Amino acid sequence: MPHGLPALDETHDPARRSWVASANAPGTDFPIQNLPLGVFSRAGGEKRGGIAIGDQVLDLAAGLAAGLFEGAAREAAGAASGPVLNPLLALGRGASRALRRRVSAILAAGSADQAKAAECLVPMDQVALHLPVTVGNFTDFMASRFHTARMGAKRDPANPLPPAFLHLPIAYHSRATTVRVGGEAVARPHGQALGPDGTPRFGPCQALDFELEFGAVIGRANRMGEPIPVARAGEAIFGYCLLNDWSARDVQRFEMMPLGPFLSKSLSTSVSPWIVTAEALAPFAAPAFARFESDPEPLPYLMAAGDQAAGGLDVALDCWMTTPRMRAEGAAPARIVATSLRHLHWTFAQMVAHHTSNGCDLRTGDVLGSGTVSGPEPEGRACLAEVVMEEGGLTLPNGERRSFLEDGDEVWFTGRAERAGYVPIGFGECRARIDPAKSWPMG
């Protein structure tokens, strides 16, 4: 398809059901129409690739041994059965499509392979989930107009958007080595920031924040010197995940000028363990963001009719939170953000096209972050910094107040793609708890 999402086929059929009962449960993230890929291990076992179905994981290595795959699907399953998914991603869309169609047939109700495949399932509550790809590069964009404007209003209320924002997808190159799988705790970082008296100090971060983002995982690489046209840029993306770009706001404020964030962003980035493929999201394609009438038209290298018509994604995103006190009292988690990918000013195809427009090569497993996915309404403020700027802080249902995250606070993201006539699919969780700062050697 011209906007980069694959065509619909039998794997998207809303009437298709699975013999895995939990995959048919209302509200499940992982019905048979989803089939996201990840990497798991059993206790004491090796890492291996798998596919989520309901509350189970289909072990691809076991499926290969059982003779469930042949032809292109066998090659794809072999590439996805190891400790990282990069070999599968490097094969391109054709391989992932062949694997998806075969797994869907295996897991469909009435499949002749049910008995053999049932032996290859592992309960999800009995596995550990790992970072699904080796991330060579991590680029973080700033694609939400609403987040950018709120953060810029304090600097210049009359002109809160940076001059380039309406002309190109703004981004910076972040740290790939600190991309971690959701579920791993995040230790409060140390850094240099201005103290109350205006002099620099070094110590534990006093303004630790989350950023609710969406990540695109690059599939087949392009060669250096060969830009990817926007009309084909979506084809470079294998799939998507939830992403938390943890931010040390006090450190960020001090170090930001003139080169941008450094230690305030490189402390940790959490991603959800399951990659939802572009194939799975095909039914949820949406028009690109409707620019304001006063906005300039982007230059031609960023514009393609197909991408404008269907280059967005209709995915709802939420952020949930508990504090140590809430957990001790048995209180329900608080939903503190409700937003949507529809609020992104730039499509992921535009991000890829701009990223490669100077000849930069993207490599298999690279991750592109959307930037904070804030919307126009108060509930769409997708980081605490925005809430602090507008209301002085967040009030939780039990009366607790937060300017920024405290030790023991736990934050997690969820995402859900829904459209009438199709089965909704989800992304699992991107979760982490804040641990106290570790002791730091001062001499």
Tokens of 170: 């703004």
Active site residue 130: no
Closest CA to 242 of 94, 132, 361, 327: 132
Cβ count near 341 (within 10 Å):
25
Compute the distance between CA of residue 431 and CA of residue 65 in angstroms, rounded to an integer. 33
134 annotated as ligand-binding: no
154 annotated as ligand-binding: no
211 annotated as ligand-binding: yes
213 annotated as ligand-binding: yes
Contact partners, residue 27, CB within 8 Å, separation at least 6 = none
Compute the distance between CA of residue 145 and CA of residue 295 in angstroms, rounded to an integer. 12
Contact partners, residue 139, CB within 8 Å, separation at least 6 = 171, 172, 173, 174, 355, 366, 367, 368, 369
Q: What is the CA radius of gyration of the chain?
A: 22
Q: Residue written as tokens 């000013």?
A: 345
**Sign of the torsion angle spanned by Cα atoms 87, 90, 93, 95:** negative
350 annotated as ligand-binding: no
Q: What residues does 281 pair with on adjacent strands?
A: none
Compute the distance between CA of residue 282 and CA of residue 260 in angstroms, rounded to an integer. 35
C-beta separation of 179 from 131 below 8 A = yes
390 annotated as ligand-binding: no
C-beta separation of 222 from 236 below 8 A = yes
Compute the distance between CA of residue 106 and CA of residue 66 in angstroms, rounded to an integer. 12
265 annotated as ligand-binding: yes
47 annotated as ligand-binding: no
Q: Beta-strand (E) ranges in 390-424?
A: 394-395, 401-402, 410-417
Catalytic residue among 3, 130, 147, 345: 147
269 annotated as ligand-binding: yes
Going by the annotation, the residues of the binding site are: 140, 155, 211, 213, 245, 252, 265, 269, 372
Going by the annotation, the residues of the binding site for Mg(2+) are: 245, 265, 269
Q: Show which residues are catalytic.
A: 147
Going by the annotation, the residues of the binding site for substrate are: 155, 252, 372
Going by the annotation, the residues of the binding site for Ca(2+) are: 140, 211, 213, 245
